[in-house]
Amino acid sequence: MKSLLLRLVVVFVLMPVSAVPALSAEEIKIPFHLAKGQLLYEKYCSSCHGLQLNGSDKGPPLIHPFYKPSHHNDKSVYRAALKGVKQHHWNFGDMPPVVGMTPGKMDRVVPYLRYYQRQKKLY
Ligand code: HEC
């Protein structure tokens, strides 16, 4: 009886921990050196471009062929984040400059973005 009670307690204590990963459900394994970029992407970009870069009702997917380096090079990614973009490919409206974003933070975000695109076989 006592051990059953103990087991129940253990289950209820551990349950929330095992339920956490769903939030940033990563189907793609992110190498350690890109973890900071992922964190910054999730903080500054994912609200519009999606946690899995698959877009949202506020912004397009960044794993779309438009955003291959051959079509939107790294410079244009920095420019989008730091200066914003006028609506031109989609109907989500303009992308405003991202508040709090810096070139230094983008140095982390861009390699993460490119890695993710390659894992998705975009290029
Ligand atoms: C408030 C919503 C929002 C946020 C936050 C946001 N974006 Fe965007 N982004 C958009 C929209 C909308 C477009 C599409 C503009 C179009 O082509 O019509 C876009 C387009 C882009 C483009 C394409 C630029 C171009 O020249 O066409 C890139 C690259 C991009 N976003 C990267 C980012 C990155 C990196 C972040 C985070 C640092 C970010 N975005 C944060 C809404 C957002």
What single-letter DSSP state applies at residue 64?
S
Ligand 1: distance of its center to the CA of 5 in Å? Answer: 52
Residue scoring higher pLDDT (43 or 26): 43
Pocket test for ligand 1, best of 74, 85, 108 (most atoms within 8 A of CB): 85
Percent of the chain predicted with pLDDT > 70: 79
Dist CA 25 CA 37 (whole Å): 16
What are the distances in angstroms from CA 20 to CA 9, 25, 40, 44, 66?
18, 9, 19, 21, 33
Mean residue pLDDT of the chain comes to 88
CATH number belonging to domain 29-119: 1.10.760.10
Is residue 93 within 8 Å of 113, Cβ to Cβ?
Answer: no
Among candidate residues 44, 50, 59, the one with its CA nearest the CA of residue 110? 44
Dist CA 16 CA 6 (whole Å): 17
Q: Over 60: is that where the pLDDT of 15 sits?
A: no
Question: Residue 27's pLDDT is what?
Answer: 76
Q: pLDDT tens digits, residue range 54-91?
A: 999 999 999 999 999 999 999 999 999 999 999 999 99
Question: Ligand 1 within 6 A of 51 CB?
Answer: no
With 0-12 / 13-18 / 19 or more C-beta atoms within 10 angstroms meaning exposed / middle / buried, residue 122 is middle
- Count other C-beta atoms under 10 Å from residue 55's C-beta: 17
Unique residue bearing structure tokens 């999606």: 50
Question: Ligand 1 within 6 A of 45 CB?
Answer: yes
Residue scoring higher pLDDT (107 or 28): 107
Question: Ligand 1 within 6 A of 90 CB?
Answer: yes
Among candidate residues 29, 74, 75, 73, the one with its CA nearest the CA of residue 52? 29
Region 4-22 average pLDDT: 55
Domain-by-domain residue ranges, the chain?
A: 29-119
pTM of the predicted structure, to 2 decimals: 0.84
Question: Residue 13's pLDDT is what?
Answer: 59
What are the distances in angstroms from CA 47 to CA 11, 35, 51?
33, 18, 8
